[in-house]
Amino acid sequence: MIVVLFRSKLTSAAGDDYTAMDAEMMQLIQQNPGFVDVKSYKAEDGERLTIVRFKDEETLKAWGAQERHRVAQSTGREKWYEYYKLETAKIIRTSEFEREA
């Protein structure tokens, strides 16, 4: 399993066009073979964290090469992001607990 941590802060120029592209990317990534799940959070200071899990490195590479995703990345750097930080990690161990109802 591969996990991508995408931390970012938006500029004031990130308006309706950003919202539309974000929705499109969420829909597109969920159709990507090997996609596991995605969660997004926003901190009080405006920083956002998106956590995306992929089955393997090949799946992640395919997402990175997806043409529409590359357009979103380029536009993000040019207009929407004040900054972003991307970290990619391989899961080496998992542990779970769930309380029975």
* Mean pLDDT over each residue of the chain, to the nearest integer: 96
3-state SS, residue 31 = helix
Tokens of 86: 């991307």
pLDDT in tens, the chain (101 residues): 999 999 999 999 999 999 999 999 999 999 999 999 999 999 999 999 999 999 999 999 999 999 999 999 999 999 999 999 999 999 999 999 999 98
- pLDDT tens figures, 15-40: 999 999 999 999 999 999 999 999 99
pLDDT at residue 65, rounded to an integer:
93
Class in CATH terms, 2-90: alpha beta
54, 2 Cβ separation under 8 angstroms: yes
Q: In the chain, where do the E strands start and end?
A: 2-10, 35-42, 48-54, 81-90
Show me where the domains of the chain are located.
2-90
